[in-house]
Structure 1
Amino acid sequence: MSIAEQEARQTYPAEYQYDSREAYMRGRAAPPADVEVEAVAKRLLWWDMAPAWEDVMPSEDCFWTLAEPEMRANYLRDAREMLETARKTVSE
């Protein structure tokens, strides 16, 4: 039984909630949305940059806006890969 299936059974324990379980598992296994990927990428960039800015802590959006397009692309790629790995893990 996959982690997603275990979570669905815990969240929706009654038999009449079978459709809810199925919807939960489909959502849990769905590819990450672009908004999710960008949120993770911004956080990763923040974690990498924040130590250099101890005195002045701009927002995650500030770092993201100032980053070069190539740098953002790298963080987006890494974030998508991490989210896909996590989703694959809970679906197995």
Structure 2
Amino acid sequence: MLDEAQAYEDSRNYDCCQIINGAFTVGCAVNEAYCEGRSATPADVEVEAVAKRLLWRSCKKWDGIESDYVAKDEDDAWDYAGEIPGFQEEYIRQAKEMLEIARKAVNE
């Protein structure tokens, strides 16, 4: 994460973390903000977006469900999954787990 933040900072035309008159430069603030964003807990909208994609990728056919339903798109599949008790919740659980794994890898 720190390497990514430094590369991002270096790709911009900022002063490179020099202290000027006792204050950090814009480059330092950008570097810190980048690190905070990369290590932040995922927002609900991020979790739901990952859950929808997992559902869409894994449920081209609805295994174990007695239905001839064919989803038109990702949102349609998500809406249909909401009618099946626990279905969306399981994909949200998986999405949170995947995002946690990704965040952990970024912080190591």
Q: What TM bracket, shorter-length normalisation?
A: 0.7 to 0.9
Question: 5+ unaligned residues in a row in structure 2: which ranges?
Answer: 11-15, 18-24, 63-69
Alignment partner, residue 13 of structure 2: none
Q: Describe the shift of the 1:10–1:26 C-alpha distance in structure 2 as closer, same or farther (beyond 3 A).
A: same
Structure with bigger helix share is: 1
After superposition, give the CA deviation of every residue in 1:24-64 in whole Å (9 maximum; x if it has no partner).
Answer: 000000011100000000000000112x38xx661101110
Count of residues paired in the alignment: 86
Alignment partner, residue 40 of structure 2: 30
Q: Indicate yes or no: 2:7 matched with 1:10.
A: yes
Q: Indicate yes or no: 2:103 matched with 1:70.
A: no
Question: 5+ unaligned residues in a row in structure 1: which ranges?
Answer: none
How far apart, in 1, do the equivalents of 2:7 and 2:57 lie?
A: 33
Q: Indicate yes or no: 2:86 matched with 1:86.
A: no
Q: Which has the higher contact order (CA 8 A, sep 6+)?
A: 1
How far apart, in 1, do the equivalents of 2:104 and 2:28 lie?
A: 22
Query: 2:71·2:77 contact (CA, 8 Å) conserved in 1?
Result: no
TM-score normalized by the length of structure 2:
0.74
Q: Which amino acid aligns with 1:77?
A: R
Of structures 1 and 2, the larger Rg is shown by 2
RMSD over aligned Cα atoms: 1.5
Where has structure 1 moved over 4 Å in runs of 4 or more?
A: none
User: What SS is found at the alignment partner of 1:65?
Assistant: helix
